[in-house]
């Protein structure tokens, strides 16, 4: 069973690659305090790239499971343990001079959940048929209703583990390839929590995006 590693928070997501996500909304973010050792963040997201599913784990119990789109072979999703560093509602997307305002045609949908891995996040899509497939540029895509649901319960500072290959943890969460589900034990998901300061609400700038 994997143990989550401590992650370092950042407050401005800076990426190279030409995709620009302009924040036209209010985001929530946290910064760590050097003197803090505990946090009240309780949710852990476990994303299995092979299963194309995400589990929301709350104190060891599975709260929700969603089907997601993950990175395609040529632009794979990052593997490892990360933190949620921003939550942005109704972002404006810009690429090569073309600006897409919030709305149905926006490639990242109506919500952006930024990760501590530069350029990557969890977001919506204007291509709902891609959900359940390896189809993105590396980000995790969700359908709108699922994303709205996740966005409402998730706080900055929560842990996100992206798993590349099936293992005991993903089998316990999502079942095995033969379809046999395995119950999740209360201690099956362990996280070392990094310290987080109280959540502040302010406008932040996200300079670019890789993984859409």
SS3 of the chain:
CCEECCCCCCCCCCCCCCEEEECCCCEEECCCCCCCCCCCCCEEEEEECCCCEEEEEECCEEEEEEECEEECCCCCCCCEEEEEEEEEECCEEEECCEEECCCCCCCCCCEEEEECCCCCEEECCCCHHHCCCEEECCCEECCHHHHHHHHHHCCCCCEEEEECCCCHHHHHHHCCCCCCCCCCCCCCCEECCCCCCCCEEECCCCCCECCC
From the list 19, 95, 137, 139, the catalytic residue is 139
From the list 19, 59, 95, 123, the catalytic residue is 123
* 137 has catalytic annotation: no
* 95 has catalytic annotation: no
Q: What residues are labeled active site? A: 123, 139
């Amino acid at each position: 069973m994997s143990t989550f590693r401590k992650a370092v928070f950042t407050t401005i997501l800076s990426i190279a690659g030409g995709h620009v996500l302009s924040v036209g909304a209010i985001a929530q973010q946290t910064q760590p305090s050097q003197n803090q050792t505990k946090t009240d963040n309780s949710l852990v997201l476990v994303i299995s790239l092979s299963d194309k599913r995400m589990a929301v784990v709350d104190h060891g119990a599975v709260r929700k499971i969603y089907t997601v789109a993950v990175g395609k072979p040529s632009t794979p999703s990052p593997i490892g343990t990360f933190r949620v560093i921003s939550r942005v509602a109704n972002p404006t997307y810009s690429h090569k001079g073309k600006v897409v305002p919030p709305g149905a045609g926006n490639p990242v949908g109506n919500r952006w959940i930024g990760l501590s891995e530069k350029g990557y996040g969890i977001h919506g899509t204007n291509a709902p048929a891609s959900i359940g497939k390896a189809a993105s540029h590396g980000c995790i895509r969700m359908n709108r209703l699922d994303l709205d649901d996740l966005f409402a319960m998730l706080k900055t500072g929560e842990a996100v583990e992206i798993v590349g290959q099936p293992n005991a943890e993903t089998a316990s969460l999502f079942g095995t390839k033969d379809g046999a589900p395995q119950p999740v034990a209360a201690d099956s998901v362990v996280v070392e929590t990094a310290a987080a300061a109280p959540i502040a609400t302010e406008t932040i700038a996200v300079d670019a995006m890789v993984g859409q």
